[in-house]
Structure 1
Amino acid sequence: MNTFLKGMAILVVANFLGEVVEFLVNMILARELGESGMGHYMTILPTIFLIMMLASFELPVSISKMVAERDESYHRSMISHAIRLAVFFTAILFIAAAVTLPLIPVFKDYHPLMKWVVLALIPVMTISAIARGFFMGKQEMGKIAVSHFIRRVVQLGLLTFLFQFFEFGSETALLVAFCTLAGSEVVVFLYLLHFFILSYQRIKRVPGKHLSGKEVRKNLVAVSVPTTALRIFHSLTHAVQPFLIKAAVIAAGISPEMATEQFGMLAGVAMTIGFFPAFIAHSFLIILIPTVSKAYAEREFHKLQKLLQQVMLLTILYGLPSVTAFYFLAEPLTSKFFHSQEAAVYVQMLAPYFLFHFFTIPMQAYLIGLGLIKDAFIHSVYATAVTFSLIYLVGSRPEWQMQGVIVGMNTGSLVILFLHYLTICKKIGITWRAKSTIRYTRY
């Protein structure tokens, strides 16, 4: 537990600093791109993240889980086979992407070089994923934390320099914004690769036990494939959601240009403010997967129950005060940092959405650690069906418009929270008696 709390503290501090920098990044983007440009930026961003996620093949999750569950003597053999699998997968994905990216319609409204910037990131993301998974499994959270911080700082530095000393048209400005994102990923890749090579050289000098390539591939694929499917589903829904939201408010009587601007305020301003404390939830996500995997492999159910209590308590302690502050300070925050008073009402209405997600993010890590990836996927399908249905049905009504969209988002986030929580409790032995008291089963 001390290792968990220490790693958690390191991640929280580093991610907090990273979120401060990310906040500044979004301020620069909002100022330089304008409301319309920010809307276009946030519209294409989920699609790019989907491609980057495919390149990683969820290797950070599968490798960290396998490293945490296995004795250190097996690590050299595991990593060797994982590298071969990653190189093979990267080659196939790179060729497939080179053929299909020019044909994706969503890129037609952006600079022609945009698709090639994304293509260049594929091998970078795959190799970085191996190193990240290894360090996560070894509980070396300092390197993970520093890599997150470096990404933010490099992007901020590039944005500040380029927009300070050069003038760009609207289309080129969007390309430059994405190039700074790509540049930050390259720097993180070099940082992680350096330390990974050093670590790999050390474990090569230690006598190790052999694992067959077939066994390693089977274990990695058993986690990576369903986790990737889950992430693909999330990425696809996030890629579709901007268009669904804009279609709903257009059907409610809003012009297409106004719909793009409103979505820019929702995603670029309200989400930036409301999800600022989510760095703590993402810190939980990173450290919980190997911690829960190891505890479950050793059948330490009491530890899992106690860990869940701690995660829930810590989430309440930071989540509830955060969303309360955002609710009452929404107008000064949106006006001072983003010069957008209209987004204040979005921040206030999205308060439940932010709070529920602070709980949902670590619970998803719990489900992955417990081997319940299929359950997490089914929960996401149910919640997305509810969210999308309400977004269009309520958001397309003239009297609701964007407020109706937010009602759908809040409801969907509540659905997935309850599904995750009830499934975890059942798996680790938490049950309820008649008078709403909780009983923790002893194993």
Structure 2
Amino acid sequence: MTKQNFLKGTIILIIAGMITRFLGFINRIVVARVMGEEGIGLYNMALPTLFLMYTISQIGLPIAISKRVAEADANRDTKKIKQILIISLSITGSLSIISSILMYLIIPYIATNLLTDSRVYYPMLAIIPIIPISAVAAVIRGYFQGRQNMKPQSIAQVIEQIVRIAFIVILVQIFAPYGLEFAAAAAMISVIIGEAVSLLYMLHMFQIKKRMKLRKDAFHYFKTGRKTLNQLLSIALPSTASKLVSSVANFLEPILVAQSLAFAGFQTAVATKMYGTLTGYAIPLLFLPTFITHSLAVALVPNISEAEAKNHKKLIHYRIHQSVRLSFASGAIATVLLTLFADPILMYMYGTNNASLFLKIMAPCFLFMYIQFPLNATLQALDLAKQAMWNNIVATVIKFIVLILLTTNPEVGIYGAAIAMCVGVIIGTIFHLVTLFRHIQFVIPFSMIAKMIALIGLTFWLGWLLIRLFPFSINQFIPFVLTLIVLFLCYILFLFSLQFISKDELKQLRRK
């Protein structure tokens, strides 16, 4: 099986993430223009419940699989890898069936009573079949990640988005005349089809690349796998609790926002539209750089796990510093663009700039989110998932307190939810840094912090200067693009000048 080094694996994931993110935005633009803000609100209100079921059915096993497979691969223990897969598939398969049944039973109550909009019932119902599909896919992804072969899952991501867009264009158009709830349900069905085709591809690649026959003596491996089960659960359970906190938070967030806005005097349709503007327009743009930080996080888990198995402590610190540095570099340019060019970006993409103020408020704060991804992955790889869980719990509780206090104020309204999200992101990242310092004495050097400030300060100043020197109106697309190209080229010069990207890292990309 082809194995990539840390940077090569990350680059493969980044390229795939870039393509899928681009395709995902095409998908969102199509959906936004067909369904509008209210339709997107219905779609996004249904998603958190799905993610909650994801978490229950997978119980954190993907990360555990990646870590344990990496350790077993370092020791060339093929039998252990086979046992990990058999036990993981058995657990996720069973739990996904239970989760699907549970979701079918509870969605009428959730849609009518908690989300205060009965139309959410149809999109929630439509997406149930994706739970077992994603459960199996998660195990296969964890296996490839543990073997440090990022190509199969990267290609699968691209395939999934292409299939999803192809079907979403067709299905949403067909079902839109019947009502927004049916259009949202059609969008969910498109997600299922994309995920299913992606899984079929990964199973095909697994069949080609595997070194063992899973069905041979499968029951024996399962029966004698108590130790392996305990090793998986020692990571999976705390990781599940951490993800469960996030999923429960995502599940409760639209409920709390809807109830808080209702308390503040906003009507249901207005509240749904406002939440759709925040989560359908602003949040996707803020999460745009995370395809890079997520790629770093995915590649980081098996690398740090392998380094820990070999007791290479200096390499662990180097990898964390490297991932934080590269994550910040990817997020800083996005922060500047979304702050200075919020209005034209939104107008060109969605035909409205209603989410402009959301971006200007939240973009600087989400710099903390971009470096939080690799920090969280590091905690998982170092068997510190329990500490990560408590960090997430405390940050989430504080976020919800701020959300309720601000959103129930009619003068603040939906912006209270935006501010609360920022507070949660900042606190969660700081807690992760404190945890790493306590356990492995990891710190971000002052010199790196100074370079981070210099990078974003120079980029922001240059962007502001370009706007003043070469002003453009919303209808002048070419001058807008040229301004962004000049800013981006200068940003690359800043990266090399401040050594955010080193010559040694470029050499590593050429190494086999």
Same fold (TM over 0.5): yes
CA distance in 1, matches of 2:19, 2:265: 41
CA distance in 2, matches of 1:143, 1:294: 21
Q: Deviations over 1:104-156 (max 9, x none)?
A: 32255247765664442333222212211110000001112112222211111
Find out whether 1:30 has 2:32 as its counterpart.
Answer: yes
Aligned residue in 1 for 2:289: 277
SS of 2:25 mapped into structure 1:
helix
Aligned residue in 1 for 2:345: 333
Over the matched positions of the two proteins, sequence identity in percent amounts to: 27
Aligned residue in 2 for 1:161: 170
CA distance in 2, matches of 1:256, 1:110: 12
Q: Deviations over 1:154-176 (max 9, x none)?
A: 11111123345665422221111
Deviation at 1:403, TM superposition (A): 2.2
The one-letter amino acid paired with 1:17 is I
SS of 1:417 mapped into structure 2:
helix
CA distance in 1, matches of 2:332, 2:416: 24
CA distance in 2, matches of 1:294, 1:128: 23
Range with greater deviation from structure 2 (161-170 or 315-324): 161-170
Q: Deviations over 1:242-287 (max 9, x none)?
A: 1212222333332221111010000000011121111011101211
How many residues align? The count is: 433
CA pair 164-89 structure 1, distance change in 2 beyond 3 A: closer
CA pair 336-93 structure 1, distance change in 2 beyond 3 A: closer
Find out whether 1:183 has 2:193 as its counterpart.
Answer: yes
Find out whether 1:120 has 2:129 as its counterpart.
Answer: yes
Indicate the structure whose relative CO is greater, using CA pairs within 8 Å and at least 6 residues apart: 1
Of 16, 30, 33, which aligns to 2:18? 16
Aligned residue in 2 for 1:441: none
TM-score, length basis structure 1: 0.90
CA distance in 1, matches of 2:448, 2:94: 54
Aligned residue in 2 for 1:297: 309
The one-letter amino acid paired with 1:186 is A
C-alpha RMSD of the superposition: 2.7
SS of 1:352 mapped into structure 2:
coil
Consecutive unaligned residues of structure 1, counting only runs of 5 or more, are 439-443
Question: Does structure 2 conserve the Cα–Cα contact (< 8 Å) formed by 1:301 and 1:429?
Answer: no
Of 90, 103, 110, which aligns to 1:106? 110
Deviation at 1:57, TM superposition (A): 2.9
CA distance in 2, matches of 1:5, 1:272: 26
Aligned residue in 1 for 2:90: 87
The one-letter amino acid paired with 2:110 is V
Aligned residue in 2 for 1:385: 397
SS of 1:341 mapped into structure 2:
coil
Consecutive unaligned residues of structure 2, counting only runs of 5 or more, are 113-117, 215-219, 451-512
Deviation at 1:33, TM superposition (A): 1.6
Question: Does structure 2 conserve the Cα–Cα contact (< 8 Å) formed by 1:60 and 1:133?
Answer: yes
SS of 1:342 mapped into structure 2:
coil
SS of 1:226 mapped into structure 2:
helix
CA distance in 2, matches of 1:235, 1:23: 23
The one-letter amino acid paired with 2:35 is L
CA pair 137-38 structure 1, distance change in 2 beyond 3 A: same
Find out whether 1:324 has 2:326 as its counterpart.
Answer: no
Find out whether 1:365 has 2:377 as its counterpart.
Answer: yes
Aligned residue in 2 for 1:63: 65
CA distance in 2, matches of 1:435, 1:60: 35
CA distance in 2, matches of 1:338, 1:277: 19
